[in-house]
Amino acid sequence: MNLPLQPDNKVRITSLLDEAYACRTNNLKRSTQLAQQALALSRELDDVALIAKSLSHAALFAMILGQYEHALTMSADAIQLYETLEDDKGIADAKYNIAGVYYKTNNYHLGLVNLVDCINTYRKYNDYHNLARSHKSLGTVYEYFGDEKNAIQTYEDSIVAAKQAGDLNLESNAYNPLSGIYLKKHDMETAMDLIEKAIAMKVQTGDIRGLAFSYYGRGKVYTAQKRFEKAEEDLKASVNIHLEMGETLGLGMAYHKLASLYVEMGQLSQAKEILKKGLDYSTEYHLSMVKFKCYHLFYEIYKLENDPVSSLNYLELYLKERESVINAQTLKVIENYDLINKMEALKKEAQLQLEKAEIIEKKNLAEQAAIVKQEFLSTMSHEIRTPLNAIITIATLLGDKVDPEEQELINALRFASNSLLLLINDILDFTKLEAGKTNLEMRPANFKQLLDNIKKTYDSLAREKGIQLNLVLDDAIAESYEIDENKIAQILGNLVTNAIKFTYFGQVNIVVERLNSADFEDVLLFKVNDTGVGIAACHLHDIFESFSQPQSITTRKQGGSGLGLAIVKKLVNLHGSGIEVKSTEGIGSTFYFELKLKRADKPTKVFAKYSDSLQGRTVLLAEDNVINAMVISKLLSNWKITVELAKNGLEALEKSKQKTFDFILMDIHMPDMDGFEATKLIISETDNPNRKTPIYALTADVTAEYQNEHHSHFSGFLRKPIELNKLYDALMSIIPA
C-alpha cells in the first residue's frame, strides 16, 4: 500500500479511531474493524503514538466482546509503547481495558488495583470522561464484594464526573447499577425513577448497547413489582440487543435474570431452557459471577420440582464455584483492602490539592491586582501632585510679594489647591494603610501645643460656618508625650473637619481627658463631639468603611473622598486601639477613642528660621517638568543655593560625573532613565565624584517611598508638593556643624 503524505495519514488514522469509539454504543463489530484498520495504517506509517492508541482502542472493543486474552495481549503491547513515550494517560487507558477483563472474569482484586491506578491518573489530568467510566467500573467491583456503601458513593462520583464531561451516556451508565442497589434496599420508587432516567438518556443519545443494560435494569424492577409481562418484554429486549451487539457480560446477566423471571411466573421448563443458555455462555466466557448464580438458580428450580439429586448436585456446584470465586477473592481483597481506604484518602487529597490550587490562583490574582493598583496610584499621584507642586509652591513664593487685593486671590488659590491635595492624600494614605506600609514614628512632642495648633488650624473653617470650635483639656494630662504627631493630627483633623462639615449651628468640641495613670504611661480619652445633624442608627455600623457617606446626611455641599473615617479607624487601630461613635439624629455625634501614651520630657529641638547657612551650596536638580524645575530652582535660589538642572536621569548621570555637588535632588519618574536607575548608577560607579553625595528622592509618587529595593539608595524621600520646612531641614541636616 502506497501511503500519501504523513500528515494526511495521521489525520485519517485519528479520524478512524474517533469514529470507532463513537460507534461502540451501537455497532461494536464496526468499531473493531475501524480500530484494526487504524492499527494497520499506524504500523505502516511506523508512528509509535498512533500504534499504541490503535492497540488500546482495539483492546477495549475486544474486552467488551469477551475476547479477553486478545484484549489483555493488545493492552500489554500498548502499555509497553506508552511507557517509551512516557505517556501516563495512555497507560491508564490501556489499564482500564485490563481492569475490565479482570472484573468481568474472576480476578476482582486485579480489577480493583488497575482501576485505582486509572482514577489517580485521570484525576491528575481532570479527564472527567474517563473518570466517569472508571468510577462506574469500580462501583461494579464494590458491588461484587457486597460493599454497597462504597458502590453507591462511587456510582455517584461517576455521575458527577459524567456531568462535568457533559456525557449523557456515561451519566446514564451509572444510573443503571444505582437503580439495582436501591431495588435491593426495597426502595422501588427510587429504583424506577433512576432506571427510567437512564432509559430516557439512552434513547436521546442513541446508545443501543447501553439501552440493553437499562432495559435489563427496568426488567428487574418490574419483576419486583410483580409486573411480569412488562418485565419479560424488557428482559427479552435486553437479550436481543446483547446478541446483536456481541456484549458478553450483559447477555449472561440478561439470560440469568430472564430465567429468574420465569421461575417467579412458575414457568420452570422455560426457565431451565433460558438458564442453560446462560450457564453455557458464562462458562464459555469465564463469567464466574454469572456462572455461580446460574448454578444457584438451577438448585432452586430442581428443589421446586422435588428432584433432590439434581438439586443437591447444583448446590454443590454453586458452593464450589462460589468458594473458588468469592472466598478466594475475599482473601485477595482483605490483602488489598487498604486500596479501598486509600481511594477515599486519595480523593480527599485530590480535593485538598484542588482547593490549594484555587487559593494559589486567588493569591496570584490578588497580587496582580495589587501591582495594577500600585501602578495606578503611582501614576495618579505623580500626574496630579506634579502640577499641584508648581501651583502651591508658586502661591507660597508670591505670598509675601503681592498687594492686599491680590493676596486675597493668592489665598483662594492656596485654599483650593490645598483642598485638592488633602483629597489626594486621603486616597494615598488609605492605600498605604491597607497595604500595611504605614508605621508609627513615636517621638517626644509637646502634646498640648500640638492640640492647640490643631484647634487653630480649623478655627477659621468653623468661624466661616458661624459655629464655635472649642479645645477642652484635662488639667491632669502631661505637657509632652511620645507620639506620632502627624498621625494624631491626621486622626483629630479628620474628625474635626467631619464635625464642622455636618454642623450648621452650635459648636464642635475637642476633648482630651486622662482616665488613669501607671508608671510612665497615661491612658487618654479623646472625644470630638458636635451639635450637628447626627447619624441614623442604621448607618452607624458602616460609616468607618471606605467610600462610605450616608446619603441621609450627605449633600453636594459636603463633598470629600469618603475615606476620612476609614483612615481614622485604621490609624487608631495602628495605635492598638479602636474608635467608637454615639449619635442621635438632629442632636449631634460623639466620636471617641482611647490611647495609651508614654509621658516624655519637653522636646529640646528648636526650629530655626531660614538662615543663610545654605549659601554657596550647589545642588544637582534632576526634574523633567519645566514648570516644576523653574519653581524649585527659584525656591532654592532664595536660600542662595546654586542650582544645575538635568532634564532626565541620563543627563543627571552625565552631569554627576563632571563635578562634585553638595546635594542631589532626584525626581523619580523621568524619560530616558528614571531616578531609581540614575541614582543606582551614580552611587555604584567607583570613579563618580558624587558616589557619596546625599541624594534625596523628590517625587510626586508616594508609592516610591515603600519600594524597598530602592530605599537604601537615597538619603531620604521628599514629597511633592514640596513642604518648605522639610526640604530646608533635610538640606540643613547634612551640612557639617
Surface-to-core class of residue 104, CB atoms within 10 Å of its CB (0-12 exposed, 13-18 middle, 19+ buried): buried
Distance (Å, whole) CA 299 – CA 308: 9
pLDDT score for 457: 76
Q: Find all residues with CB under 8 Å of 47, minimum gap 6, and list them.
A: 10, 13
- The CATH code for residues 443-599 is 3.30.565.10
Partners of 583 in the β-ladder: 589
Distance (Å, whole) CA 247 – CA 539: 71
Architecture of domain 618-733: 3-Layer(aba) Sandwich (3.40)
Distance (Å, whole) CA 512 – CA 294: 95
The cell numbers describing 422, all together, are: 488633602
Distance (Å, whole) CA 609 – CA 429: 30
Q: Find all residues with CB under 8 Å of 737, minimum gap 6, and list them.
A: none
Do 208 and 189 touch, CB atoms closer than 8 A? no
Q: In whole angstroms, what separates CA 430 from the centre of its chain?
A: 25
Residue spans of beta strands (DSSP E) within 484-633: 507-518, 521-530, 579-584, 588-599, 618-622
The cell numbers describing 546, all together, are: 471606605
The predicted model scores a pTM of 0.46
The cell numbers describing 58, all together, are: 482495539
How many residues belong to the chain?
Answer: 737
b (16+ CB within 10 A) / e for 206-227: ebbbbbbbbbbbbbbbbbbeee
Number of Cα atoms under 13 Å in the Cβ half of residue 273: 5
Sheet holding 716-719, edge to edge: 642-646, 618-622, 663-666, 695-699, 716-719
pLDDT score for 219: 94
Q: What is the mean pLDDT of each run of 10 residues along the chain (737 residues)?
A: 58 91 85 92 92 93 88 93 93 92 77 86 92 91 79 92 93 93 92 94 90 93 94 95 86 93 94 93 83 90 90 86 59 47 56 66 67 58 60 65 64 59 59 65 89 84 89 93 87 89 92 91 95 86 62 44 75 91 92 94 59 85 81 84 91 93 89 88 90 85 57 79 78 73
Distance (Å, whole) CA 730 – CA 701: 19
pLDDT score for 141: 81
Distance (Å, whole) CA 635 – CA 641: 9
* 594 backbone dihedrals φ, ψ, rounded to 5°: -115, 145
The cell numbers describing 681, all together, are: 548608577
- Alpha helices by DSSP H, listed for 541-674, are 564-574, 626-638, 649-656
The cell numbers describing 481, all together, are: 508625650
pLDDT score for 432: 61
Q: Which CATH number fits domain 131-206: 3.40.50.300, 2.60.120.10, 1.25.40.10, 1.10.10.10?
A: 1.25.40.10
Distance (Å, whole) CA 146 – CA 164: 28
Cis ω on the peptide bond leading into residue 177 (within 30° of 0)? no
Distance (Å, whole) CA 275 – CA 279: 6
Examine domains 1-125 and 131-206 and report if their fold is the same: yes
Task: Please name the fold of domain 207-292.
Answer: 1.25.40
Q: Which amino acid is at 321?
A: E
Domain boundaries, the chain: 1-125, 131-206, 207-292, 443-599, 618-733
Of 396, 387, 378, 380, residue with least CA distance to 626: 387
Architecture of domain 1-125: Alpha Horseshoe (1.25)
Distance (Å, whole) CA 594 – CA 125: 57
Residue 463: CB atoms within 10 A of its CB come to 12
